[in-house]
Each structure stands twice: as structure tokens, then as C-alpha cells.
Amino acid sequence: MYCSVISAGISGVEAVPVYVEADVSRGMPGFSIVGYVSSQIREARDRIRAALVNMDISLPVNRITVNLAPGDLRKEGTAYDLPIAAAVLMAMGKIRPDALKKTMLLGELRLDGTIGRVNGVLPSVMTAKAIGCKNCILPMENTAEGRVVEGIQVLGIHNLSELIAYTKGEIPPQTVVAEKKIAECYPVDFGEMQGQEMVKRAVLIAAAGFHNILLSGPPGSGKSMAAERIPTILPELTEEERLEISRIHSIVGLLPEGEALVNRRPYRAPHHTITGPALCGGGVSPRPGEVTLAHRGVLFLDELPEMDTGVLEMLREPLENRRITVSRLGGSCVYPASFLLAAAMNPCPCGYYPDRSRCRCSPVEIRRYQNRVSQALLDRMDLYCEVQEATYQEISSGRRDEMDSAKMRRMVSLAGEYQRERYCGTAIRFNSEIPAGEVRKYCVMTEEASRMMEAAFRHLRLSGRGYFHVIKVARTIADLAGEEIISEDRIGEALCFRSPDRNVIERFSPTCV
């Protein structure tokens, strides 16, 4: 007897429908699973057999064939256990053929017949709704996540016995419980940073316009301390952004325990020994990397020159296009990668240049160290800030700084309101995302500001990308001040935070490293 049920597989950050077909017929006894499946799915045969035996259900002495269609999509994971078991039970006559019509099933099966949680539930339920499914049967632990999607009934079950009871009409639909949004709470605050007004100003601009920022300074000066506090001043997530981030985190199993959706912007801080696939995504079966897990949040890269040069250069595409394409023999996946890059570096191997009383690095060592970060990557950094060491009085004062996270966040939120009004009806969310062709439309400057930009373009040898980045940073500075027109002062401040062109410095100052 042939039967089929609906499940879902993950491709990139989207879920695609997978049809689980089962056939029980005469022939040499056996249990085979086909359809471009991984070893995890083939092991489902033993899990299903043991689970049914523990439920006093014996498999027939016939040939059982299970196919997962479409055959050209690689299937992985244990979420197919429940639909495979349901299809086999249906083919055996234990479940009516029409009992699971327009119903998607997901779940891992354990040897005692209980159903365990799986990853990728949120995008799978969204796909189930899109293809016309009326119901979705999930592990009980995943029901809160599945019920985020409106317009489809989500039922949670504990074991296979409840699935059989549901198909007989013995389990009524469960009441949908509204998700409780958990308030954001951060253990760190900018009020703990004494002094460092220039650093706070640079970070404030970066957060308000979602600009990339590079912090350079000696060890222990507060670079990492400032970077890890950036999420505390970012604007709240919109509902669209929450779904967007939660879908990604659901796929990799990073949804916070007890929460159906992500409630705060991601903050990812991988070690500087990270590999290319771990940073940008990939592997034999492509998975999202850190740049995608930081989508709509912050990616902090400490010790930037210590990272592998090839890995660093992989950041060029996502920084420019806000997405990354991972291509493999089996196909390609496009992952979203719109994040705020915060990077930190020492000015030399020992970290104390240009303080020659402590720095013992030779000019060649300093140049080689700094050249590990290419000029092409530096050109993509909107803000550059040199972090100075705090004084003894600042460190020992013990008082809380007036410019704390709450005050900075209010300023960022106000600038965000100006941006939402300005870009209403477009795909642009922050000033850093303005396309080059629309900079003139959204970034209107005074005549004095235009003349300053012209002079800076010539004397600082700005690239085309650098020119637009300066204007977009000035746009954010003007938003923080509540100004619609970009003035000369705003352009001047944006230029002060511009990363210097290393080639120009070496050309005009031969003794400078």
C-alpha cells in the first residue's frame, strides 16, 4: 500500500516542502530509505523499528520502501523521523490515508516512541502555511516556536501514541497561548566606561546609522569593552526583524530557551582563529556562518590583524552587498548578512606604537603587521577611532559616567525615527544602506559642506566608496543633531573619523610607518 505525508527540509535560510512516501508491498523483507538522504536519516529505520516494538506494533514481514522527494535536494537531520514513521503506519493501515491530509509533520523519534525537539521549525511552519497546509504536528517542545505563524493550526505531541490518537479524533486542538515578549536586559553598560568620550561618540554614530567601526589602540585601553556594549544602545527590533533573525537562529538551533522569537539584536564575537566556512558559511552541507548569525546585529572581530588574511578578505562581499553566496557542487545558497561590523586592533605587534618609550617594534614589523589588514577592507570601514588609555583619575574615580547606555540609546532611537520617516516605503532601513545612486537624494548638503567634500576628496585621495561613506556618516551625525541638511560641521566630523589611506601616508611621509 502506498501513502504520503508532508514534511520540510532546509535550503539556505528557507524551508522547502519534502514529501515522504512509503510503500509496503510483497517482496524480500527489508526497510530502505531513498531520496538523497544522509546517514542520520538512514538510521531512522532502527529508531522507528524499536519505537514501534515498544508500542506493541510489529512491522509486517514485507518490503518497506520510503522515498523523500524531491530527490535532488539533500536531506539531513532527524526531523524526518516522525513523518517517516507516520507514512509507514499509514501504509500499514494503522492510520487512515486521509487523516494527515494537508498536515506537515516534524520531529525526532526516540526508541521509546517519544518525540524530541528539532531545529528549523519556524521556517518550516511558514512554508507549510505557504503551500496550503491547515495543520502542523510538532514536538511539544517546539510548539511555542511554531505558533508564532498565524493562520495555521499547530499541534504539539509527546509520542507516537498521541499521533495515532489525533488521527482518530481523540485529541482536540490545543488552545493557542500568546507569546510573552521578554524585556531586554543587558549585564553591561556604557556608564561603566570612564572617560573615552571620543570612543563613545564614534560608537554612538555607528549604532545610529549601522556603520562599520574600527577601534585601534594599545592593549587594555577599552576597545573590547566598548564593542561589547554596542548592543545595549541599538534600536529595538521590529516584528519583521524578529522573524527574520528568529528564522536563521531556528535553523541552527540557537533560539533562546523558553522564547519563541529572538528579542534582542544578535552579538557574535568569534575567536580570531576562525576559519572561512565558520565565518561566512559553508561546509559539505552549507550552514550559515557568523556573518549570517549576526544579521541585523553586531559582529565583533577582535585582534583583526591576527586573523588569517584569506578569511579577512572574505568579508568584502557581505560588507558591500549585505548578503553572501555559498556555492557547492550540489547548488548554491544565499545567506543574508546585514550586520554592524565592529573590529579592534593593536597598532603594532606589541600594541604600544607610537609610544616609543614602550614600543620596541621595528618600522618593518609595524608595516608588516598593519598590512595584514588590506586597504580594500579598511576602505569599507565607515568609522575609525584611535582609543587612548584612560588616566588613573578616570579609572579610580569609581563614579558612573553620565553618558550611559540609556542616554545613548535614546539618542539612537531619535535618529532612527528620522531614518524610518525618510526611507518609508523603501528597502532602506539605516543610513549605511543608502545605495550610491540615491546618496544625492537623501543626503542634501549645504554649499560649504559640498566644497569641503570636494577639497577632502582631492587632498585625502578618497576612493569613490570612501566618498559615499563619508557622506552617509555625515547624514547620521546630522540625524543625531536633528538636522535635515548636512552642514560643514557634520562633514568635518565625519572626515575626522575616516580611516586614513595607508598608501597616501606612505607616499607623502616616507619615514612614517
CA distance 148 to 176: 10
Tell me the average pLDDT across 223-230. Answer: 95
508: in domain: no
Residue 256 above 90 pLDDT?
Answer: no
Tell me the average pLDDT across 176-202. Answer: 77
Tell me the average pLDDT across 45-68. Answer: 92
Q: Are the C-beta atoms of residues 224 and 302 closer than 8 Å to each other?
A: yes
Residue 466 above 90 pLDDT?
Answer: yes
Share of the chain above pLDDT 90, in %: 76
- Both 135 and 202 in a single domain? no
Q: Which residue has the higher pLDDT, 505 or 329?
A: 329
Residue 404 burial (CB count, 10 A): 18
pLDDT at 27: 84
- Both 329 and 196 in a single domain? yes
The tens digit of pLDDT for each residue in 103-118 reads 999 999 999 999 999 9
DSSP 366-432: HHHHHTTS-HHHHTT-SEEEEPPPPPHHHHHS-PPPSS-HHHHHHHHHHHHHHHHHHTTTSS--SGG
Q: Rg for the chain (alpha carbons), in Å?
A: 28
- Both 138 and 35 in a single domain? yes
How much is the mean pLDDT over the chain? 90
CATH code (residue 416): 3.40.50.300
Residue that is last in its domain, among 134, 167, 200: 167
SS3 letters for 262-331?
Answer: CCCCCEECCCCCCCHHHHHCECCCCECCHHHHCCCCEEEECCHHHCCHHHHHCCHHHHHHCEEEEEECCE
CA distance 471 to 451: 13
CA distance 502 to 50: 66
Which structural domain range is residue 210 located in? 190-503
Alpha helix segments (H runs only) across 116-191: 121-130, 143-146, 160-167
Strands (E) in 12-133, as ranges, are: 14-25, 30-34, 63-69, 103-105, 108-109, 115-116
pLDDT at 501: 61
178: in domain: no
List all residues 6 or more positions away from 382 whose beta carbon is below 8 Å from its beta carbon: 206, 209, 211, 212, 213, 432, 469, 472, 473, 497
Total number of domains in the chain = 2
509: in domain: no
286: in domain: yes
CA distance 244 to 261: 10
Q: Sheet harboring 2-11: ordered strands across?
A: 30-34, 63-69, 14-25, 2-11, 103-105, 135-139, 153-157
- Both 156 and 201 in a single domain? no
Residue that is last in its domain, among 167, 201, 232: 167
CATH code (residue 8): 3.30.230.10
pLDDT at 12: 85
410: in domain: yes
Q: What are phi and psi of 290, to 5 degrees?
A: -65, -35
DSSP code of 337? -
Name the region of 398 (left: φ>0; alpha: ψ -120 to 50; beta: rest): left
pLDDT-derived band of residue 178, with 50, 70 and 90 as boundaries? Answer: very low
Tell me the average pLDDT across 481-509. Answer: 78
Tell me the average pLDDT across 137-146. Answer: 93
Q: How many residues does the chain have?
A: 513
342: in domain: yes
- Both 123 and 68 in a single domain? yes
Q: If DSSP codes are grouped into helix, strand and coil, which group holds residue 95?
A: coil
List all residues 6 or more positions away from 318 whose beta carbon is below 8 Å from its beta carbon: 280, 291, 324, 337, 339
pLDDT at 26: 86
pLDDT at 172: 62
- Both 160 and 196 in a single domain? no
Q: Are the C-beta atoms of residues 229 and 405 closer than 8 Å to each other?
A: yes
Q: Are the C-beta atoms of residues 174 and 155 closer than 8 Å to each other?
A: yes
Residue 451: which H helix or E strand, with range?
A: helix 447-459
- Both 277 and 363 in a single domain? yes
CA distance 116 to 80: 12
174: in domain: no
325: in domain: yes
Residue 175 above 80 pLDDT?
Answer: no
- Is the CA virtual torsion 418, 419, 420, 425 positive or negative? positive
pLDDT-derived band of residue 332, with 50, 70 and 90 as boundaries? Answer: confident
- Both 102 and 228 in a single domain? no
pLDDT at 507: 39
Residue 199 above 90 pLDDT?
Answer: yes
The tens digit of pLDDT for each residue in 394-449 reads 777 767 778 899 999 999 999 999 999 999 999 999 999 999 999 999 999 999 99
Rounded to two decimals, the pTM is 0.90
CA distance 144 to 462: 51
**First vs last C-alpha separation in the chain:** 77
CA distance 366 to 283: 35
- Both 135 and 197 in a single domain? no
- Both 239 and 357 in a single domain? yes
pLDDT-derived band of residue 504, with 50, 70 and 90 as boundaries? Answer: very low
Q: Are the C-beta atoms of residues 82 and 114 closer than 8 Å to each other?
A: no
- Both 257 and 109 in a single domain? no
- Both 421 and 352 in a single domain? yes
Residue 234 above 70 pLDDT?
Answer: yes
Question: Which residue(s) pair with 32 in the sheet?
Answer: 65
CA distance 418 to 426: 14
Peptide bond just before 70 cis, omega within 30 deg: yes
CA distance 129 to 450: 52
Tell me the average pLDDT across 157-184. Answer: 73
pLDDT-derived band of residue 299, with 50, 70 and 90 as boundaries? Answer: very high
